[in-house]
Amino acid sequence: MIRLENVNKIYQDERMSVKAVEGITLEVIVKDFMLLTGRSGSGKTTLLSLIGGLTRPTSGIIFFKDTDIWKLNDKRLSHLRNKKIGFIFQFASLIPTLNVRDNLKLPTIFHKVDFDTDKRCEELLETVGLSHKINVYPSQLSGGEQRRVALARSLMNNPDVLLADEPTGDLDEETENEVMDVLHLLNESGMTVILVTHNTKLEKYATKHLKMSHGKLASI
């Protein structure tokens, strides 16, 4: 589904250059549950944003279903990012003045969608176990519930793959496990998931476990 071939990312300005990702070749297969671990600064976020087409590689090729994504025009590339790939980041937060339903609808207001957004909200809230919270505001939710709503929001456009960058890094262990359980459930129901995490709870479910060290893939 997604393939990286000898991908490098060097951040460069007048004063210095950082090799954030070096010589990475990997493949993500449909329904994979890929764990990505490694120390802070090892290049995990950079790799995830390369996989998701948010960062242009310095060299190497990124294929999404056999399409070289950096050969797409801007319109097609943003279509890919918006519709095919879901992102959830650390500290993913909801808009406090919007209720849960309207927070979920945010990813659908900037472009035309061909599905019933109310129905989709209901389905997703059922998936994350929060159907009864559809009309409440973020301040009326616990931390874990808020993060599960943010997770549902990242799935609003029905992406093919979910990229999660330490989505629970700021949560306590119990709350973190709540979110991890939902990620596991999503993968069980067919979603391809790539997860950056320090949480080992899901290790046993991972189809692939990659470890990064100094921008390279290290063996586990």
Interface ranges with ligand ADP (CB under 6 A): 11, 18, 20, 38, 40-46
Cβ-in-10-Å burial (0-12, 13-18, 19+) of 182 comes to buried
Interacting partner of 23 out of Mg ion, ligand ADP, none (Cβ under 5 to 8 A depending on kind): none
* In the complex, minimum distance from the CB of residue 213 to ligand ADP, in angstroms, rounded to a whole number: 10
Q: Which does 41 bind (CB under 5 to 8 A by kind): Mg ion, ligand ADP, none?
A: ligand ADP
Q: Which does 42 bind (CB under 5 to 8 A by kind): ligand ADP, Mg ion, none?
A: ligand ADP
Minimum gap (Å) between residue 13 Cβ and ligand ADP: 7
Name the minimum Å distance from CB 61 to ligand ADP: 19
Residue with CB nearest Mg ion?
A: 45
Question: Residues 116, 118, 124, 126: is their CA dihedral positive or negative?
Answer: negative
Q: Which residues bind Mg ion (CB under 5 A)?
A: 44-45
* 44/133 with CB nearer Mg ion: 44
Distance in Å, CB of 16 to ligand ADP, minimum: 8
Residue 13 C-beta: closest distance to Mg ion, Å: 20
CB atoms within 10 A of CB 67: 13
- Give whole-number Cα distances, 105 to 85, 118, 196, 203, in Å: 16, 8, 26, 32
Residue 170 makes CB contacts below 8 A (sequence gap 6+) with: 90, 91
Residues with Cβ within 8 Å of 47's Cβ and at least 6 positions away in sequence, in order, are 21, 24, 36, 212
Residue closer to ligand ADP by CB (options 44, 120) is 44
Q: How many CB atoms lie under 10 A from the CB of residue 183? A: 25
Q: Which of 111, 214 has the CB closer to ligand ADP?
A: 214
Q: Which helix (H) or strand (E) holds 26?
A: strand 17-28
Closest CB to Mg ion among residues 48, 121: 48
If phi > 0 it is left, if psi is from -120 to 50 it is alpha, else beta; for residue 64 that is beta
